[in-house]
Amino acid sequence: MQTAEIKRRFLKFFEERNHTVVPSASLVSDDPTVMFTIAGMVPFIPYMTGVVPAPYPRATSVQKCIRTNDIEEVGRTPRHGTFFQMCGNFSFGDYFKREAIEFAWTFLTSAQDEGGLGFNPKDLWVTVYRHDDEAYRFWREIANIPEERIQRLGEDTNYWSAGKPGGPAGPDSEIFFDRGPEYGIDGGPATDDDRYVEIWNLVFMQYERGVDNGDGTFEILGELPKKNIDTGMGLERIAFLLQGVENMYETDQVRPVLDLAASLSGKKYGDKDDDDVRMRVIADHVRSALMLISDGVQPGNEGRGYILRRLLRRVVRNMRLLGVETATFPQLFPASMRAMKDAYPEVERDFDRIARTAYAEEEAFLRTLAQGTTIFEEAVSGAKGSGLAQLSGDIAFKLHDTYGFPIDLTMEMAEEAGLRVNRDKFNELMTEQRERAKADAKSRRSALADLSIYSDFRAKGETQFIGYEDLRAESEVLGIIVEGSSVPVARSGQVAEIILAETTLYAESGGQDADQGWLIAPSGGFEARVDDVQKPVAGLIAHTVTVTEGEIAVGERVESVVDEVYRRQASEAHTATHLIHAALRDALGPDAHQSGSYNKAGYMRLDFSWNQPLSKETRIELEEISNAAVRADYEVITKEMSLDDAKALGARALFGEKYGSVVRMVEIGGPWSRELCGGTHVSGTSEVGLVNLIGESSVGSQNRRVEALVGRNAFADFATERAIVRELSSGLKVPREQVTERVEDLLASLKRAEKKIADLEAAALLGRVPELLAGAEQVGSINFVGGSLGTVGSADDIRHVVLDIRERLGSEASVVAIGGESNGKPIIVIATNEASRDLGVKAGALVKLAAGVLGGGGGGKPDVAQGGGQDAAKLPEAVTAVRRELQSV
């Protein structure tokens, strides 16, 4: 059975059971704390936690997912893939354990000619949480699984939690397929052997969890008011089992790339274990990269971009280990696209863009590999010349960090040269790098400029930033990059990166946005607007410019000119960031430490560790403390000193930043605020002018964010608010101190009036019930009432009328189908009574039929369902379609 057919059957099975089919969300997660969609339930988390009311009681989806935490296992086990598709069915306070178990078992074991997957029940095992007697009983009753094939396991495998106090938690039950004795030892899933493949996980969210107990467990506060179901069936795992292949890499959506890698390398899949692993890695990573680029991810050095770049480079590395050193993406990516386009047509539609991104990244990496190989060979020669048997970890890290060499490639090359690699030192440096990484850092560098270009310029020395003292200065043009290539000249109309020996323009770093300004030829004839200033590699500053006049060549002199107004306002904002940080520590204590920041002219934001919203009083206090420091006109002093000396003075370092042995400390009011910072600042706090706190929000479970306007922007905002208050005071004819009270009174009056109107409208609609009942007709075996209410306020208005009519029709088999129009859109609500449902009539099926006529969709329970569409003029036709459907009952 093809993968696409399994997906189709899954969605059809649950749609027939009143689940709303929800399309896959993007691989790029909306959650700012998560880079990717890592599980099928991620898009539904707001509904499961109750933060957002669920728009439907039941849902089903096949969700695209990316996980790279087990990347080293890819190709080595039958089931680990970085990209996978998770089939899920979800209940939001509707059905629970019994139904979830029955659905899963029915779909898995029903015959294929009946729409199921046709698994033999004798091949399936089940695990339940050790204390979940209810799930155990349901499995025995529903599936009649022998007791010996139901295993009770502990919290580490069969208990799920949202991960924080107040969130949902509950036991889960997993279904495993036994591949047979030729694949491993007997004993069931408890053995954790690859013989038993987990194919479905049913999570029963029934409790509210409390705080951690300190031993990996947590307190249970009680049952949730609404119990939820979250299940996940691995599509790739089901596919490889049903297709009779050995692993997910040999399924129809992945195997074509594996076979092509074998063909390009001249090797045969199945001949050699190491080569087989490499081919499987290539097939997996090409598909993952295809899907990531399709969803808008671009290769980069941070965050999602780094994950994508790593996948692409691992493909290149494994092709090289198979003996192929030329570009292969132009063959591999089209093969993956052809395998995936039936399930995801967008990969074919957007393939030109996907291909350009992938091919350019491969070309850039092949160049850096060539340059890195030269560095490697020099290091090997030096080590052997010194009689060493080991390549230093520093060299291995440089090859990884600057030239993109994966450590295992360096280790294999070193082994071929008869050397070992100091892996411990390499791991130490990698850990330091990960700690320096910023989750919200931007990647604005030229998409196609590989690091070797920057490395060539960096070899000429560091770019000196002299903008603390000077706002304009001459320097030599060391290099020019246009569209990813080093060029000798930048001409009018071009966007270019220009690298100077010295610059007065501040490069974005430490949370401070880049300076604005110009590059100008001292003798005239050339001018460029500076759009961005970045540090593409350590010690190098690159100016992204738009050339507005003339041309400039490498080796010529150019003057960097800072926009003084922008710099002054940016400096005010950066100093205000330090004031807010100090104020947070004053108000909340030392645990409220900075985790990130961003500031530009007139604006600042600061992220800090804290696990709950700030009260109104605390926000006022922060603003008061900060502005008290402004009024105090503390002197702002910058000092360079050793890192140890700065720490001894209590200077605060930002987690994730890299500091050298000599650091720059910014001191405000002596010990009141001491921070390590390379940004620009005012000389006294009174120059900040004013700090106006405008926002406070969450940026993760343990982090908050405050935002403020600074200086002139803060004054302008207050002036706007003052003008608004003045107008309200005049219009309401009350003193300004009474404006709030007067507005509250008016809102209360408006609310009462709206309620009165709603009550009158509802009464008027219910008054039409006798008229609608008078039109009742016998359709087949059903007493049918159909019609339209015309324009209504909402679907609830129609629902009230429908339920009232159903109640008045009594116990005779009846169906009510009433439509209406709200905000220009048609709505139809259908209700059945018990007698009609006994005849097989379901409201959900009928409403889908009616909504289809209206050009939309709908769903609901068998007793009541609701749908909508686009064309309100077709409401009579929709009701007629329902009437026609009932004639056969």
Binding residues for Zn(2+): 574, 578, 677, 681
Q: Please state, in angstroms and rounded to a whole number, the distance separating the CA atoms of residues 487 and 496.
A: 9
Could you tell me if 689 and 572 are in contact, meaning their C-beta atoms sit under 8 angstroms apart?
yes
Query: In sequence order, which residues have a C-beta less than 8 Å from that of residue 537 and are 6 or more positions away?
Result: 402, 451, 454, 455, 458
Q: Please state, in angstroms and rounded to a whole number, the distance separating the CA atoms of residues 609 and 656.
A: 14
Q: Please state, in angstroms and rounded to a whole number, the distance separating the CA atoms of residues 232 and 806.
A: 38
List strand residue ranges (DSSP E) for 193-270, in order. Answer: 196-212, 218-234
Angstrom CA distances, 249 to 76, 169, 246, 285, stand at 10, 34, 8, 11
3-state secondary structure of 260: helix
Q: Calculate the CA 322 to chain-centre distance.
A: 34
Q: Nearest to residue 875, comparing CAs of 814, 830, 843?
A: 830
Could you tell me if 818 and 798 are in contact, meaning their C-beta atoms sit under 8 angstroms apart?
yes
77, 78, 82, 83: CA torsion to nearest 10: 180
Question: Other CB atoms closer than 10 Å to residue 810's CB: what's the count?
Answer: 10
Residue 484 tokens, joined = 């990813």
Q: Please state, in angstroms and rounded to a whole number, the distance separating the CA atoms of residues 607 and 610.
A: 9
Q: Please state, in angstroms and rounded to a whole number, the distance separating the CA atoms of residues 364 and 451.
A: 8
Radius of gyration of the chain (CA): 33
Instruction: Please calculate the CA angle 291-297-298 and round it to the nearest 5 degrees.
Output: 120
| Mode of pairing for the β-strands spanning 390-391 and 420-421 | parallel
Angstrom CA distances, 207 to 90, 98, 165, stand at 17, 17, 11
List the binding residues.
574, 578, 677, 681
Q: Which helix (H) or strand (E) holds 654?
A: none
* Helices and strands (H and E) in the chain: how many: 26, 35
Residue type, 803: L
Sequential DSSP letters for 409-441? HHHHHHHHTT-EE-HHHHHHHHHHHHHH--TT-
Could you tell me if 605 and 599 are in contact, meaning their C-beta atoms sit under 8 angstroms apart?
yes
| Mode of pairing for the β-strands spanning 542-549 and 495-500 | antiparallel
3-state secondary structure of 276: helix
Angstrom CA distances, 66 to 71, 84, 294, stand at 11, 7, 13
Residue 227 tokens, joined = 């119990």
3-state secondary structure of 889: coil
3-state secondary structure 117-173: CCCCHHHEEEEEECCCHHHHHHHHHHHCCCHHHEEEECHHHHEEECCCCCCEEEEEE
Residues comprising the chain, all counted: 889
Question: Other CB atoms closer than 10 Å to residue 645's CB: what's the count?
Answer: 14
676, 677, 682, 688: CA torsion to nearest 10: -90
